Amino acid sequence: MSFDGAFTHAMVGELSRQLVGGRVSKINQPYNNEVILTIRANRKSRPLLLSANPTFARIQITDIPYVNPATPTNFTMMMRKYLSGAILTGISQAANDRVVYLDFTSRNELGDQVALRLIIEIMARHSNVILIDFASSTILDTIKHVGSDQNRYRTLLPGGHYINPPAQDLTDPFAAGASDAVKALVRDYPNEDVLAQQLRHTYQGLGQDTALGLAKALHQAGEPIDNFTAFFKRFDQPAPVLVTNDKGKTGFNAFPYGQEHVTSKSFDSLSAMLDFYYQDRAERDRVQQQGSTLIHVVRNELKKNRTKLKKLQATLKSADDADEYRVKGELLTTYLTKVTRGMTSITLPNFYNDEKPLKVTLSNQISPSQNAQKYFKKYNKLKASVRYVNEQMAKTDAEIDYLENISSQIELAAPKDLADIKAELQQGGYLRDHEHNQRSGKKKRRQVSKPEVFAASDGTKIEVGKNNLQNEKLTLHSAAKTDIWLHVKNMPGSHVIIHDADPSDQTLVEAATIAAYYSKARQSSSVPVDYVQVKKIRKPNGAKPGYVIYEGQKTLFVTPTREFVDKLSTK
């Protein structure tokens, strides 16, 4: 199911029950198109996410942690100016459309009470969050400014007049009398798929899955009108569920209806379900946005080093021909009397290959002796280059491994992990560091963020480094020498520490599963994970951050799943 009008109706009901009457205590904008209002209601603070992300637009309460930018955006400052301390008086929906109104009362600079409306329009790439003065419909600010060059019908700019999105000539299925047309539709369109399409052309806010679910419900025993009414009543008492079909595609529903699926997972609330559904999808998108510079730098460095490696391999291959140059030089020296100046080539018997004739190319600008010396020089140059080329290839291979490891860490990172990866790239000279003391020219010493913490079934503490700086600090500085260190075998991944010298077999399996999950093998099965005591780990001199070597390890094979790892999280 998509975040259609019917799902929006269910979400509005859930949010109204939890938030209406609450006070806005915090306003943050951790990501470009997303704002979070922390609302204190019924003695509990709940972070309300309003996302105008083009792909993942939605409104929900979220428990996923976020990191705020160092400097708040203009939109954040405007929201704080008007909504800090405001009371949420109501949440409503525009006629089963994907438009939600959050109404607030607040006090202006003069102490007078004012009515404000915060609107979220969930419309794919046209999604937006808009704050207006309710009395005059004047736009105070928007998370995305839309000028006349982008939309002639409807501009969304501060100071402008708010105009509702274009209305569709469709019926609100939750309105009184909405079921009147159903009987005729069921009679005229007995095929469920065709009926679903007609329902979408008749009723406002029905996504494809909702329309198909309704079509199946209307074809069940009983009166179509009764079935219609019963179907939409379920949105007022949702039973959130994720369903996965036989093709592996997962979707979310306000309640289970009519779809064929292989597996399903129930949740206590719509918001909890969306957190689970969007966590990886939205996190990847946020990382792509916030880490775009890092991704670009790493890709460019990888491309440069892979090109360098190909050139080195070509040079090494050409060195394989060095002996041929030596042979030609020796043949010319042996048969020097047969060579005369001005010749461009000569065929000589090759005493290294049963006297088989060998053609030798000559320069007609130099003497026969100089031609021989030219071949010897080429031979010596190529032989001398082999050692250097091998050294450079080893360094380039190591650089590629390191950059591929960084690339994997960015893929697996949460937005809060990007700061450490950025700092590492700055320390390595891949990225310029602008955060330094302008007077002294000294760089600020930056604290490495803390690793993720998990608890095994028996309560043993397990820590996970999410990037190289965390890995190095965790393994080489924080962990005790008798602790157990784990890492996926021969693949980029996190360092995992079991803070116990003699963990149980169950704890070892749980920690190995975490190590496999936080690695490039996250989607694989039967993943090999090495484990060994920390005292057997060492970092070679001059090695990159996070790179260690070890010996005496044992190996476990595990299959990671997000559900298993989430159960062990202490967040």
**Domain positions in the chain:** 5-161, 180-266, 280-412, 452-568
pLDDT at 383: 82
> Where is 486: in which H helix or E strand?
strand 484-488
Query: What Å distances lie between residue 262 and 244, 245, 265, 281, 513, CA to CA?
Result: 6, 5, 11, 21, 25
- Cβ-contact 34, 51 below 8 angstroms: yes
State which fold the 5-161 domain adopts. ibrinogen binding protein from staphylococcus aureus fold (2.30.310)
* DSSP code per residue over 113-151: EEEEEEEEE--GGG-EEEEEETTTTEEEEESS-B-TTT-
pLDDT at 439: 47
pLDDT at 322: 81
The residue assigned the tokens 């390595």 is: 428
Token pair in block for residue 323: 């002996």
- Using left for φ > 0, alpha for ψ between -120 and 50, and beta otherwise, residue 546 falls in left
Please state the φ and ψ torsions of residue 490, each to the nearest 5 degrees: 55, 40
- Cβ-contact 128, 109 below 8 angstroms: no
Q: What is the three-class DSSP state of 555?
A: strand
Burial class (CB in 10 A: 0-12, 13-18, 19+), 139: buried
Query: What Å distances lie between residue 492 and 175, 217, 290, 497, 521, CA to CA?
Result: 55, 49, 22, 16, 8
- The residues facing 47 across adjacent strands are 38
Measure the CA angle with vertex 135, ends 133 and 140; round to 5°: 15
CA nearest to 375, candidates 392, 357, 358: 358
User: Does 3.30.1490 match the CATH number of domain 280-412?
Assistant: no
The pLDDT tens digits along the chain (571 residues) read 679 999 999 999 999 999 999 999 999 999 889 999 999 999 999 999 999 999 899 999 999 888 788 899 999 999 999 999 999 999 999 999 999 999 999 988 888 899 999 999 999 999 999 999 999 999 999 999 999 888 777 899 999 999 999 888 999 999 999 999 898 999 999 999 999 999 999 999 999 989 999 999 998 888 999 999 999 999 999 999 988 877 777 889 999 876 666 678 899 999 999 999 988 777 777 787 778 889 999 999 999 999 999 999 888 887 777 888 889 999 999 999 899 999 999 999 998 888 889 999 999 999 999 999 999 998 888 888 888 888 899 999 999 999 998 998 888 888 888 888 988 999 889 988 755 544 445 555 667 888 999 999 999 999 999 899 999 999 999 999 999 999 999 998 999 999 999 999 999 999 999 999 999 898 899 999 999 999 999 999 988 888 999 999 999 999 999 889 989 998 7
Buried b (16+ CB within 10 A) or exposed e, 409-420: bbebbbbebbbb
List of residues 6+ apart from 512 with CB closer than 8 A: 486, 496, 529, 531, 556, 558
Strand (E) positions, 248-369? Answer: 250-253, 263-266, 345-350, 356-361
pLDDT at 417: 84
Token pair in block for residue 65: 């942690």
Measure the CA angle with vertex 84, ends 79 and 86; round to 5°: 110
- Cβ-contact 339, 293 below 8 angstroms: no
pLDDT at 260: 62
Show the DSSP H helices in 235-291 as ranges.
Answer: 270-290
- Cβ-contact 374, 363 below 8 angstroms: yes
pLDDT at 113: 92
The residue assigned the tokens 């269910």 is: 10
- The residues facing 130 across adjacent strands are 119, 142
Q: What is the three-class DSSP state of 189?
A: coil
- Dist. CA 190–CA 539, nearest whole Å: 71
pLDDT at 203: 95
pLDDT at 319: 76
pLDDT at 437: 46
Query: What Å distances lie between residue 277 and 60, 265, 454, CA to CA?
Result: 12, 11, 21
Strand (E) positions, 3-76? Answer: 23-31, 34-41, 44-51, 58-61
For residue 383, what is the DSSP state? Answer: H
- Cβ-contact 227, 220 below 8 angstroms: yes
